[in-house]
Amino acid sequence: MNEFTPYIHNQLNDILSSLPLFRPELCLGILFLLVLVTDLIFGKQSDWIVRILACGGLLFVLAADVAQYKVFSGYTVSSFFNNNLLLHHTAIVLKMIIDAAAVIILLYMPWDVSLQSHPKGLSDAYTVIVASVLGMHLMVMSGTWLTIFLSVEMVSLASYLLVAYRSENSFSAEASLKYVLFGLASSAVMLYGISLFYGFTGTLALFDPKMVANLQQVSNSLSIGLAIVFILAGLGFKLSLVPLHFWVPDVYQGAATPVTAFLSTLPKIAAFGMLINFLTPFITSVGFITIFDFRLALSVAAIITLVAGNFAAIWQQNVKRMLAYSSIGHTGFGLMAIVTFSGQGITALNFYLAVYAIANIAALGLVSFFANAANAHTLNDYRGLGIKYPVASVSFVILVVSLTGLPVSAGFNAKLLVFSSVYSTYQQNHNIVLLLLLITGALTTVVSLFYYIKVPLNLFLKKPEDHQEGKPVSVSLVVFCALSAFVVLFLGLFPNFLAKFL
């Protein structure tokens, strides 16, 4: 027993020294317990209490992230909890984006009439979202295969619960079942890839020098490539990369619209953070490209995702389904920034994800608004509604302009940063794959205009129809979407207001 005493002492010291770096996550854990207990005490009448508590708590967590942001700048990296978690500038920025977007989602949820009228209430959904945010924090800080898998599963379970929240809706139930089955399959594939990696390297730590060194000593490079493909497949499912996107249209359409806003932004941002951690030890290792060319593999995936997502969106009539396919295309743009393997690319990615989260959540908020106000779900249902609801309609136009990437919008600046980072890397190494990425990104941006323009076309230029009378509209939802449209325009004119913090 005495021989274990120094080991136990060192482990305790490591845990105690790690706690200050884990402050935002400790706050999230406490917040989750408070929200859960409040829901249990007050029952169905606790919705507004739980909502206020969750939003206030997440703002407190965001403040803790800002405190960490001031300490970690540049390329400073700290590992803690026995190298299981990593803290660096990019992880903190992504945590801040996730927390801010989570607050917006929590505010938005009761403004969707179909979800707000749910007999179970919304307090359970608020609790699940807080728990999922904790999982996303762990995703962007994961430093070992163990934390990667556990954090992914934590977020996956929360996502399954949210998609199935409207269990009385048959379409929603079908979508949740499909999501669970595909999610379990992707987790199994990812776990198999992780087990292969552990067998090859003998370590769980991503940044252990032995990991890449031992991989390079494996005689069969095909086995290593297979393990990497399996792990990328698990991450690709979260990112909705083609061909792992097949669950997205049905799940996004079947879930409640605020849940669709959640799925299309927060888990995707966290998955990009995890992908950065996964790639870093390989791209910083000289000679590993001879075993597996990450740039080529991810560039091909980005090109296919850009083409498939944007072209499939053209044929959609249901607005939620159209935005689902467009989100696949936006994933391709995020991957474009990743494959630069540069600090400029990561900055572009952070800006892109922040702007995309604002515009996409607000656009889906307006989908809720028109569904509430006029029972409008398809593009044809939107005919003439621009005259009847001018503020909401103009806001929608501004948001789709940003999602398209047209000038004088934040989306234009975001795509410009991504293109600039890819072109800068291309100038350095003249990799033909990067040139193909640039051409594909430009062409698919033009393609996206063909389906995004259908929104203003139907709102303002098509003849009005006799719309069904919907339910009372939420003024708060209109104000939120109008403010989001203003932010999109403001960041289009003054991008440095946000970019300097990323």
Average pLDDT over residues 137-163: 90
Tell me the pLDDT tens digit for each residue of 86-127: 888 889 999 999 999 999 999 998 888 877 777 777 888 889
Rounded to 5°, angle at Cα 358 from 113 and 186: 85
Tell me the pLDDT tens digit for each residue of 337-364: 999 888 898 999 999 999 999 999 999 9
- pLDDT category at 245 given cuts 50, 70, 90 is confident
Residues above pLDDT 70, as percent of the chain: 92
Tell me the pLDDT tens digit for each residue of 417-436: 999 999 999 988 888 989 99
pLDDT of res. 32: 92
Q: Whole-angstrom Cα distance, residue 140 to residue 495? A: 25
- pLDDT category at 6 given cuts 50, 70, 90 is low
**Domain containing 422: what range?**
306-502
- pLDDT category at 373 given cuts 50, 70, 90 is confident
Tell me the pLDDT tens digit for each residue of 74-91: 667 777 788 888 888 889
* Single pTM value for the model: 0.93
**25 within some domain:** no
**141 within some domain:** no
Nearby residues of 426 by Cβ (< 8 Å), 6 or more positions away: 434, 435, 438
pLDDT of res. 268: 93
- pLDDT category at 335 given cuts 50, 70, 90 is very high
Burial class (CB in 10 A: 0-12, 13-18, 19+), 398: buried
**128 within some domain:** no
**299 within some domain:** no
How many other β-carbons are positioned within 10 Å of the β-carbon of residue 170? 10
**382 within some domain:** yes
Q: Please give the single-letter amino acid code of residue 177.
A: L
Q: Whole-angstrom Cα distance, residue 302 to residue 425? A: 16
pLDDT of res. 488: 94
CB of 397 closer than 8 Å to CB of 455: yes
Q: Whole-angstrom Cα distance, residue 180 to residue 153? A: 11
SS (H, E, C) 95-136: HHHHHHHHHHHHHHHHHCHHHHCCCCCCHHHHHHHHHHHHHH
Q: Whole-angstrom Cα distance, residue 268 to residue 327? A: 10
Tell me the pLDDT tens digit for each residue of 271-300: 999 999 998 888 877 656 667 788 888 999
Structure tokens at 33: 């317990």
Supply the DSSP symbol for 467. P
Q: Is pLDDT above 90 for 134?
A: yes
First-last CA distance in the chain: 49
Mean pLDDT score of the chain:
86
Name the residue with tokens 């249209």. 249
**251 within some domain:** no
* Domain count within the chain: 1
pLDDT of res. 104: 93
Average pLDDT over residues 305-316: 90
| 172 vs 28, higher pLDDT | 28
**319 within some domain:** yes
Q: Whole-angstrom Cα distance, residue 293 to residue 285? A: 12
**423 within some domain:** yes
